[in-house]
Structure 1
Amino acid sequence: MAVNFFGVTNYLEGLLPALAQAQSPRVAVVSSMASIQQNSAELVEALLSGDEEQALAIGASLEAEGPRAGYLNYPSSKRALGRWVRRECITEKWAGAGIPLNAVAPGTVITNMTRELLSTDEGKAMVDQNVPMPLNYHSEAVVIAKLLLWLTSEENTHVTGQTIYCDGGAEATLRGDDIWA
């Protein structure tokens, strides 16, 4: 909670005056396709209300319940971040200053953190069950970087408030057609 949500949002709030003075400011944060996974509504609301102490307490309580409940911390932090981006992007301090604000939600990316997990059939099966990626399978980090580059380029004049799932179709597979519910 302290890093995934408050670290990002507090940093951006602190950076806002400098961004507002820039020639073509753009902001894109990294979320995760985990933002659509089961989460703690109570934790998400604590994050969005700005109550870091309560959020940390809820997160610690979930962690104390064991790994399954403890995992809810991650998707909750990413869900809250996406909702924060959506709420903030249309405010005077962001849109009024001409600053597009977006999020990118990767699926499984091959990194030092995931490489070992993906090296076994068991690990790969577990990941693929939770993050099915029918288009081009797991991605390299450069794929995410290129999307972030476009979102923060001068070419992006109107995309704001979006969480763009760069996940090989995982979000579409898991949520299907009913994304408005």
Structure 2
Amino acid sequence: MHFDWETFTYDSEWLREAVRIEDEADCDISAGFDWGANLGAVMAHPERYSQLARLRSIVIREFKELLVDWNLGVGAEAALICGRGLLMERLLHPTPEVQERLLAVLEEDLASPERDSSSKPLRAGLQELLQGILTPEDWELIAVTAGNSVREQVIERVQTAKTA
């Protein structure tokens, strides 16, 4: 069952499988957001939901750019996946300061005529914020994950060369 959290889309096969699983469990599994309890708020302010999705996209894109700037090579994708999960976990309950800074990023993005959040001051501030949101332990895990990806790539290449 694949659900694309980046675009909030799913295919009909995914939906049928989700319904089948809930039918087997004889209950609403409620994986993900509890839309039952919060549907009224989302329906009353749909623009907030789209703004939240926009902010999430900006944060993830900027985190990816940060990793690109660091030139992690074959370890970049593993670092991105690991870091994205850690960021989303940390941003579930951000401090008031982090909330304020993220809202400023969103306001600046929404005020831009092209909705282009690529201005240098915005990017630098957001990258600094992202580096601070993640703990030293998070960065260590990201580094280890990227390193393991490089290690696996090297071992795979060596084994392929031996069998050729």
**Same fold? TM cut 0.5:** no
* Structure with the higher strand share, 1 or 2: 1
Q: Which has the larger radius of gyration?
A: 2
* TM-score normalised by the chain length of structure 1: 0.26
Give the number of the structure whose residues are more often helix, by fraction.
2
Q: TM-score, normalised by structure 2?
A: 0.27
